[in-house]
Amino acid sequence: MNGLIALVPIPTPNMDLGQIAPLEIVFGAALISVLVEAFVRREGRRRVQLVLVFASLIAAVAALVGLAGTRTLTAQASVAVDGPALFMQGTVLLLAIVGALLIAERSIDPAGDAFAPRASALPGGREERELTAAGWSQTEVWPLFLFCVGGMLLFPASNDLLTMFVALEVLSLPLYLLAGLARRRRLLSQEASLKYFLLGAFSSAFFLFGTAMLYGFAGTFSLGGIADALSGNAGDNGLVMLGVALLAVGLLFKVAAVPFHQWTPDVYQGAPTPITAFMATCVKVAAFGALLRVMYVALGGVRWDWQPMLWIIAIITMLVGVIVAIAQTDIKRMLAYSSIAHAGFILLGVIAVSEAGIASTMFYLAAYGFATLGAFAVVSLVRDSSGEATHLSQWAGLGKRSPVVAGIFTLFLLAFAGIPLTSGFTSKFAVFSAAIAGGATPVVIVAVFASVISAFFYARIIVLMFFAEPAEEGPRVVLPSAFTALALAIGVAVTVLLGVLPQPLLNLAQQAGIFLR
Amino acid sequence: MTGLATVMLSVIDTGEQITFWICGSLALIGALGMVLSRKAVHSALWIAMTMINLACLYMAQGALFLGMVQIIVYTGAVMMLFLFVLMLVGVDSSDSVVETIRGQRLAAGLAGLAFALMLIAVISRVTLGDVGTQGADAVYGGNLQGLAALIFGKYLLAFEVTSALLITAAIGAMILAHRERIEPKKEQKDLSKERFLSGEHPGSLPPPGVYARHNAVDTPALLPDGTLAENSVPASLRARGAIRTVDRALGDEVQQLAAGDGSLEGEDLR
Amino acid sequence: MTPNYYIVLSALLFTIGAVGVLVRRNAIVLFMCVELMLNATNLALVTFARVHGNLDGQVMAFFVMVVAAAEVVVGLAIIVTIFRSRRSASVDEASLLKY
């Protein structure tokens, strides 16, 4: 007779809501934003959404500042609130605010914002023309954006692989959709969306299989639990090796490291430029945060096994990134390959396996993020009648026609190249010295070599802009509204400030750079 | 007693082995069939077979609830969604066998083989225990209760965050498929006004001609003055030029008939 | 019966799925191959749950199913949109973007 099952009550889970406040604010705002789509009249939606998005992001930053210095595990130890998590979350939030400024812009394109008036209307059809003329816009972009930011906040803070997997999907799914919503060149955009989706799903399957292997080894998903199992086990760890390799594939795909980078140029080119900017920065921050946490917290015990693998990946990522970037004729693709090369530079901080490595990685991500957002903002300003003029030949002589915009772009390019007095120099210096201290001198030599090559093609664009004759019927630079102007101003200010006065942020990163086990 | 227990255990073990070898090979065949069949619909059916067999393997390993969910969610919902979309896109969409990159299939196959061999080499060297989930199930009084305790306890945050995933999916499907009406729906009155204002023939069109030997849709009717009523034949036939011609003589015949002269000569209308 | 057999089966299914993603051209079939990879992972998770005698693996498999369901909705919506725009589901015919 086992018909009577003794009902054992499930213990009430302990959720300290205060410690995950930023997460709650963003997800809560995302839910409200969905309701706004449902209940607010179409004319008022954009305004309400903008207020909601900026208010919630700023509130989340405030909540994060309130949590500064906290070191604890919360939500049944599935979320870590520690220095790196808070720093990465702060970076994501600040970059997301600037990204939201770019997404909110709608005076660059004469037809409105950067998104299709309705994603379900056929490209080039009558319905699309009517909707464009009527000035419709797809405000559903905002809830998707907020969900994505929520996933990005959870991803680098997850303390077990299950939560990390869910966070990975929460941040990816909205991006797959957002990538396909461009107003101009919609077929290209939809194709980018499909490509990103298929390759993203493929890579998350690898992440998952790696997770399964680590679970098979340790019997738990918790990062600390895996570390304990590793330290208690000396010999037989075939499953661990498989797990590490497969998990790394999934994470390296998100940071766009070679050989998992094929999606990057296509998606960056096809997606609406504000989304490209958001994706190129925030996804990198969140994914590097997760990579650091997995590698340091869970797999620190087998670092001698994964370090060589990451050495090789860092080297080929830097070299492929800079060499292929030289051959690009499209500015967005060029920036995509440059971002691949930068992923390689950031990996230098990861392979250092030290607190300096964590700190320099975090600093690099923040510095690189603001410069990249600014660079894509400039790309969205240079236009001809059919939309953005992204072909490099169209940028010839831009410095003569609009010296201010070309000057700003030059600043960002110099930062990418790592010229002194820009944020790029400080961050490159930080990761290089951390990597040398971590014993990765050969990789640093390759990195210096790659920096020189990259300086060459960045300089080529600067020369093209300032010393080439402007083409007849060339593109013009559109005067943006306050949104993009503010984003550009923030980008310029941060890039210069971190170049001239990097110490406060470096100190903050160093203080924050200790993971909680 | 211990002897009986051993026998029981070995029976259970044999039962599991039989299940494994049957369901496992069927799952493998399904997977191969999916990759190798050219038509997308066949692929969908093959993978549905794999999924059902995997559900059996879950149940054989004590994951009863998961086995049922696998059948209901995966085979029942996910694969049916796939089939639904396939029907929408066109059932006979089959893959081209042309390789876009030369030697890509061979390379992928070899890489896959190497990957599988590496995985198997590693896995077969690992010694895995076999604790079984009975103990874990018993803590809360059953498999389902045990899962619930984890989902609503240890993994509560992840469970709550999956709602974001589902909402994203719903919004995504909405923005890619839903069309909100821009203008008010047209009533019958508006439609009729529109019809008259268009300047075209407002009423129903004349039916095809009815003759002694032909009344098919491709025979045009005659107007009172003996000319052909073009619009009595469907537009598609007109476009194709598949209208039966009515002989010149016809007009005379009609007049003859009208005059009461029954001695019609010659052949029928052709 | 040692659980290794199940893991080997799971590895084989995973590899077949991965190779399928590389060789097939139809976006829908490609996506099915990804689903096969997820199923293979679930088998490994359920087996490891039994190996370790805890239910975490089964819960993970459960989450994978939820995620896969959401992913299928988004993925198929994107595929249908592309199909409506250009009347083909082949990833090759859709190639305005080149490598």
Q: Say if B90 is an interface residue toward chain A (CB within 8 Å).
A: no
Which stretches within A19-160 are classed as H helix?
A: 21-39, 42-66, 83-104, 126-134, 141-154
Distance from CA of A211 to the nearest CA of C (A): 9
Residues B43-91 pLDDT 10s: 999 999 999 999 999 998 888 899 999 999 888 888 889 998 888 876 5
- Residue C92 has a pLDDT of 53
Which run of H or of E encompasses A204? helix A186-218
CB contact under 8 Å between A130 and B182, yes or no, is: yes
- Reported as a single tens digit per residue, the pLDDT across C59-96 is 999 999 999 999 999 999 998 888 888 765 555 555 54
Q: Residue C36 above 70 pLDDT? A: yes
Give the model's pLDDT for residue B269: 47
DSSP letters of B19-70? HHHHHHHHHHHHHHHHHH-SBHHHHHHHHHHHHHHHHHHHHHTT-HHHHHHI
User: CA-nearest residue of chain C to A271?
Assistant: C97
- Residues A347 and A152: their CA atoms lie apart, in Å, by 19
Regions in chain A scoring below 50 on pLDDT = 1-2
A496 Cβ under 8 Å from any chain C Cβ: no
- Provide the pLDDT for residue B6: 62
- CB proximity under 8 Å: B 210-249 to C: none
For chain B, positions 80-139, list CB contacts with chain C under 8 A. 81-82, 85-86, 88-89, 93-96, 100, 104-105, 108-109, 111-112, 115-116, 119-120, 123-124, 126, 128-133, 135-137
3-class DSSP assignment, residue A219: coil
B31 shares contact with chain A (CB less than 8 Å):
no
Beta-carbon separation of C54 and B133 below 8 A: yes
Cβ contact A140–B175 (<8 Å)? yes
Question: Counting one residue from A and one from C, how many pairs have CB atoms under 8 Å apart?
Answer: 124
The pLDDT of residue B4:
61
Q: Which residue has the higher pLDDT, B174 or B266?
A: B174
Angstrom distance (rounded) from CA A174 to CA A368? 23
At A4 the pLDDT is 54
Q: What pLDDT is recorded for position A291?
A: 93
Residue of higher predicted confidence among A32 and B144: A32
**8 A C-beta contact, residue C53 and residue B63:** no
Which residues of chain A does C78 touch, with a Cβ-Cβ cutoff of 8 Å? 176-177, 180, 190, 193-194, 197
Asked if the C-beta of A188 comes within 8 angstroms of chain C's C-beta atoms, the answer is yes
Q: pLDDT tens for residues B173-197? A: 999 988 777 777 888 888 888 888 8
Q: Tell me the backbone φ, ψ of residue A513, rounded to 5 degrees.
A: -80, 40
Between CA A226 and CA A217 the distance in angstroms is 8
Q: How confident is the model at residue A305, as a pLDDT?
A: 83
Query: For residues A303 and A435, is the Cβ–Cβ distance under 8 A?
Result: no
Structural tokens at position B130: 């076999």
Closest CA to A319 of A417, A452, A195: A452
Residues in chain B within 8 Å Cβ distance of A75: 156-157
pLDDT(B31) > 90: yes
Cα separation values, A19 from A30, A90, A509, B154, C73, Å: 19, 14, 20, 16, 33
Q: How many CA atoms lie within 13 A of A207 on its CB side?
A: 27
List the single residue in B126, B140, B171 with the smallest CB-CB distance to A236.
Answer: B126
Q: Which residue of B has its CA nearest to C79?
A: B85
- Tell me the shortest Cα–Cα distance from B188 to chain A, in angstroms: 23
How close is the nearest chain B Cα to the Cα of A4, in Å?
Answer: 10
The two tokens of residue A152 are 């990005």
Domains and CATH numbers, chain B: 9-87 (1.20.120.1200), 204-263 (no CATH)
Touching subunits of C (3+ CB pairs, under 8 Å) are A, B
Query: What is the rounded CA–CA span in Å between residue C74 and residue C70?
Result: 6
Residue A201 with chain C: CB contacts under 8 Å: 31, 34, 71, 75
**pLDDT value, residue A362:** 93
| pLDDT score of A124 | 79
In degrees rounded to 5, what are phi and psi of residue B164?
-60, -40
DSSP A391: B
What is the model's pLDDT at position B178?
82
Chains near B with 3+ CB pairs less than 8 A apart are A, C
Q: Which helix (H) or strand (E) holds A74?
A: strand A72-74
pLDDT band at B270 (very low <50, low <70, confident <90, very high): very low
- B-chain residues within 8 Å CB-CB of C50? 61-63, 130-133
Question: Choosing among A73, A141, A162, which should be mutated to test the B contact, i.e. which has the most B CBs within 10 A?
Answer: A162
Q: How far apart are CA B264 and CA A292, in angstroms?
A: 100
The model carries a pTM of 0.87
